Amino acid sequence: MNEPREGDVLAGKFRIERVLGVGGMGMVVSAMHLHLDERVAIKFLLPEALGNAEAVARFGREARAAVKIKSEHVARVIDVGALESGAPYMVMELLRGQDLSHMLRNSGALPIATAVQYVLQACEALAEAHAIGIVHRDLKPANLFVTARADGTPCVKVLDFGISKVTNPSGSGSDLGMTRTQAIMGSPLYMSPEQLASAKDVDTRTDIWAIGTVLYELLSGRVPFEADTMPQLCTLILHTEPPPLRSIRAEVPEQLQQAVFRCLRKDRDQRYANVAALAADIAPFAPDTGPRSAERISRVLSSSGMSSTALMSSNFPLPTAGASTGSAQAWGATQAARKSRAVWVGVGGAAVVLLGAMGWKALGGSSDQPPHAPSAAAATNPLPTPSSAPESPPVDTVVVPPFTVVPVVSAVPAVASSSPPAKLPVAPPRTVSVKPAGTNKPTPTKPSSGSDSVDPLSERN
């Protein structure tokens, strides 16, 4: 059998209904499982690829590895095998929907929260793949398929795990010598610098580059590096920086742009070390589902033995209140509340000091007055001490200037409102007698008519 045609029966149980797509290495068809009465998708190598023993062996290994990925964000593998001709095949669930490349062509750039949500779902699939040692190496919008769950919510499926890395069936020469230009040009736009240099010298961080490139395109509607020829494209990827996302789409938050650009660092040691760190930084920009996706990604990689330190996000600041997400707004509101509480603590302390000074001076307090003789007003209406002010939040330390006039004045009524203000005695002008030397008792002073007040200053002369 050369190329399957409609009506052919493969492996005695799959009747081909129609061809879904043809690539440089293989073909995908829709078929009916005659025993289960269920439609499936079947992927197998084209005849011209069968002469490469390495390609055939790698197809089988990758198909078996894909079975181990249990994430809902990977197309479920039902069966693997070989046709009578020896060509390997892989039976997968048949998906209904569209891939992100079609979505971009039809609608352009996606809403920010939607783009981040799709990328996080793809990262969930990558987390499981990376945990068992699989590097995709061909992530692009065409390999991210958006279907729907039973409840109608979108679900991204990552396609073509490990298949597209076999780009040279002959095993000799450069990948650029392939005659199927469309098949090869679909991938270099998303290839990392190290993958352009050597497809073998890659690790999981090449997927970090590719997913960052995809996110850049979903947010801006264009790829970060564009060129007319393959050499020009390679030069751009290897030596230049992409245009800032915010220069193309101003509403992209600065922190999200920083996360995308960290994925696109030329030096892979400067990129995110894993998809969990990336997910932690971008999850706040998809507030409805992002945090849950980031948590699942972290758990998957943690269960594979990765340390918690390696799973930590970058040192990027959290989104500010100006970011267009619910999480960012909540974060900003929390910080504002903390600062407000700290300022009012400082205001209360300053008010206590001011009221104490005013009361001390009005009631006759002096450095010459004995410390054991408090005034009557101080005994009956003690001013609140700093210890009675609200406690400062344990997170923030705020230094308040001691002479902030406006806040102190506005805070005085609130501090003194717990008890009625003490009426200070008002003494009219009168003659003050000076105690003669050598006497033990002071000469009494006749109070003015209509007042029985004692002048608090009479003992100071």
Residues noted as catalytic: 138
Mapped onto helix, strand or coil, the DSSP state of residue 149 is: coil
Q: How far apart are CA 26 and CA 149, in angstroms?
A: 28
Decide if 255 contacts 317 (C-beta within 8 A).
Answer: yes
Structure tokens at 390: 């609200």
Structure tokens at 336: 């504002």
Q: What share of the chain is helix, strand, coil (3-state, %, to 5)?
A: 40, 10, 45
| Alpha helices by DSSP H, 97-198 | 100-107, 112-131, 181-185, 193-197
Q: Taking each helix axis from N to C terminus, what angle separates 254-263 and 204-220, rounded to the nearest 10 degrees?
A: 140
The Cα–Cα gap between 218 and 221 comes to: 6
Determine how many CB atoms are found less than 10 A away from the CB of residue 28: 18
CA distance 302 to 459: 78
Phi and psi at residue 271, to the nearest 5° = -85, 175
> Cα-flanking dihedrals φ and ψ of residue 171, to 5°?
80, 10
Angle between helices 405-416 and 326-362 (to 10 degrees): 80
Instruction: List Cβ<8 Å contacts ≥24 apart for 389-395.
Output: 389/345, 389/348, 389/349, 389/352, 390/341, 390/344, 390/345, 390/348, 391/345, 392/341, 392/342, 392/345, 393/338, 393/341, 393/342, 395/338
User: Could you give the dihedral angle defined by the CA atoms of residues 444, 446, 451 and 452, in that order, rounded to the nearest 10 degrees?
Assistant: 30
Give the H or E element holding residue 247: helix 245-248
Scan for tokens 């050597």, then name that residue: 198
Give the Cα separation of 158 and 176 in Å (integer): 25
Nearest to 124 by CA among 331, 279, 306, 12: 279
Residues in the chain, total: 461
Check: CB of residue 155 under 8 Å from CB of residue 127: no
